[in-house]
């Protein structure tokens, strides 16, 4: 797993646009074959409703980013970052979110800004990036 991120690196990543953060997420997660989610307790995944009322499952490319960008109400509930490798993510998490019509919130920042994408879109983007790494 990746080491701790430098504070300046986090700062610079948070200055990126939502699309640039999505692109970074895809590249980074494809390289390390891991995504970070938030859980409360043993395995209660953090899912929230966005301003349009859609359910969103937030994901980040690194533990430190998940900690820094965790919303205050989730921190108060004791949410902690948890890694999930891409194989179980593709096999279990993506179909589960797809069947429940839940979007993935990719690399949301502290101000709740980020892109929500369908499970299929995120899986396809990650798989395309992994395949391009083999070329």
Kindly report, residue by residue over 3-62, the tens digit of the pLDDT: 678 889 999 999 999 999 999 999 999 999 999 999 998 878 999 998 889 999 999 999
Look up the pTM and report it.
0.92
Task: Name the more confident of 1 and 127.
Answer: 127
1 pLDDT more than 50: no
User: Which two tokens mark 76?
Assistant: 């108060």
135 pLDDT band (50/70/90 cuts)? low
2 pLDDT more than 50: no
pLDDT of amino acid 33: 95
- The beta strands (E) that lie in 33-117 are given as 34-40, 44-45, 48-49, 55-59, 80-85, 103-106, 115-117
Report angle CA 74, 123, 118 to the nearest 5 degrees. 60
Domain residue ranges in the chain: 7-134
CATH superfamily to which 7-134 belongs: Uncharacterised protein PF11572, DUF3234 (3.40.1350.90)
Q: If you average pLDDT over every residue of the chain, what do you get? A: 93
DSSP label of 77: T
111 pLDDT band (50/70/90 cuts)? confident
Other CB atoms within a 10 A radius of the CB of residue 8 amount to 8
Q: Cα–Cα distance between 42 and 48 in angstroms, integer?
A: 18
pLDDT of amino acid 112: 87
């Amino acid at each position: 797993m990746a080491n701790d991120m430098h504070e300046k690196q986090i700062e610079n990543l948070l200055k990126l646009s939502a699309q640039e953060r999505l692109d970074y997420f895809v590249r980074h997660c494809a390289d390390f074959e891991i995504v970070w989610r938030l859980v409360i307790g043993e395995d209660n995944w953090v899912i929230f409703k966005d301003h349009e009322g859609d359910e969103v499952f937030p994901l980040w490319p690194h533990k430190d980013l998940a900690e820094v960008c965790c919303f205050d109400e989730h921190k108060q509930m004791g949410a902690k970052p948890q890694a999930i490798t891409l194989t179980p993510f593709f096999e279990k998490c993506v179909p589960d979110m797809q069947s429940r019509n839940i979007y993935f919130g990719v690399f949301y920042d502290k101000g709740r800004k980020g892109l929500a994408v369908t499970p299929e879109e995120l899986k396809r983007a990650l798989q395309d990036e992994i395949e391009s790494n083999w070329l």
